[in-house]
């Protein structure tokens, strides 16, 4: 995967910042971006959000090679996030099985249980919802993930809990899985700070376009 520009320049020029300085700088940038993006999307109306979600679903279905996968993981949308439920409904009609994540507290990672719109769900941490405990656990191969910000290198910025990075970073056979970020076009940044544990997105879908992330071997 192509490394972000800032990272590549640091390597090429022998940047003299210590690892602690770099981490502090990255954390400061991430905090600023999170605040900006969280505040912005709270002003979206329900009508605008629904329209954006439907447009993103249409771009996904047109461009992303979902036909190669069988088990899709969505997410429960928080305030202002692109709603993946219209997309999940469409993928179900294409014979994909859908699921939602749940937090495995002992691992600080996500697990996934079969779920589709209309199935019961329960309140969960961070204001989200997850399938009931008796829902069947599954192993998705297609992941639709939320984000607060993204860049065209495939870098994703979330809320900072690290659940997706730990979960997706531990996938066996990474090339057999597809990770798609779903967000608003206004959430794009020229370049996000990146750290060793961050996981690249394969595709990014917004209400305006589909962005394929091309790695060095493509």
Instruction: Give residue 12's pLDDT.
Output: 41
Asked if 143 contacts 87 with a C-beta cutoff of 8 angstroms, the reply is no
178 lies in some domain: yes
Asked if 92 contacts 66 with a C-beta cutoff of 8 angstroms, the reply is no
In the numeric block, which tokens belong to residue 217? 């071997």
218 lies in some domain: no
74 lies in some domain: yes
* Rounded Cα distance, 85 and 35, in Å: 26
Return the number of other C-beta atoms located less than 10 Å from residue 161's C-beta: 13
79 lies in some domain: yes
43 lies in some domain: yes
Q: What is the mean pLDDT of residues 107-129?
A: 91
Q: Residue 34 maps to which CATH number?
A: 3.40.50.10420
In the structure, what pLDDT confidence band is assigned to residue 8 with cuts at 50, 70 and 90?
A: very low
Domain that holds residue 66: 5-212
Residue 2 has pLDDT above 80, yes or no: no
217 lies in some domain: no
In the structure, what pLDDT confidence band is assigned to residue 43 with cuts at 50, 70 and 90?
A: confident
Q: Is residue 72 classed as helix, strand or coil in its secondary structure? A: strand
Q: Which of 46, 56, 110 is nearest to 88 (CA)?
A: 56
91 lies in some domain: yes
pTM for the predicted model, two decimal places: 0.85
Could you tell me the CA-to-CA distances from 27 to 16, 30, 32 in Å, in that order?
18, 5, 9
205 lies in some domain: yes
Instruction: Give residue 15's pLDDT.
Output: 52
- pLDDT tens-place string over residues 45-72: 999 999 999 999 999 999 999 999 999 9
In the structure, what pLDDT confidence band is assigned to residue 140 with cuts at 50, 70 and 90?
A: very high
Q: What is the total count of domains within the chain?
A: 1
Residue whose token pair is 């305006």: 208
In the structure, what pLDDT confidence band is assigned to residue 13 with cuts at 50, 70 and 90?
A: very low
């Amino acid at each position: 995967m192509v490394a972000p520009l800032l990272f590549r320049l640091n390597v090429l020029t022998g940047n003299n910042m210590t690892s602690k300085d770099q981490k502090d700088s990255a954390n400061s940038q991430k905090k600023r971006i999170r605040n900006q993006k969280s505040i912005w999307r709270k002003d979206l109306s329900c009508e605008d959000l629904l329209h954006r979600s439907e447009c993103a679903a249409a771009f996904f279905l047109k461009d992303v090679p979902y036909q190669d996968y069988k088990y899709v993981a969505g997410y429960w949308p928080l305030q202002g996030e692109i709603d993946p439920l219209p997309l999940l409904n469409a993928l179900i009609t294409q014979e994909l099985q859908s699921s939602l994540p749940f937090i495995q507290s002992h691992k600080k990672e996500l697990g996934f249980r079969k779920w589709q719109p209309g199935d019961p769900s329960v309140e969960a941490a961070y204001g989200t919802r997850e399938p009931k405990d008796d829902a069947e656990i599954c192993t998705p191969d297609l992941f639709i993930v939320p984000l607060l910000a993204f860049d065209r290198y495939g870098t994703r910025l979330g809320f900072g809990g690290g659940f997706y990075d730990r979960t997706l970073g531990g996938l066996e056979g990474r090339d057999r899985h597809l990770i798609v970020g779903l967000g608003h076009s206004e959430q794009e940044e020229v370049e996000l700070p990146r750290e060793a544990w961050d996981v690249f997105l394969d595709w990014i879908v917004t209400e305006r376009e589909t962005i394929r992330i091309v790695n060095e071997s493509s």
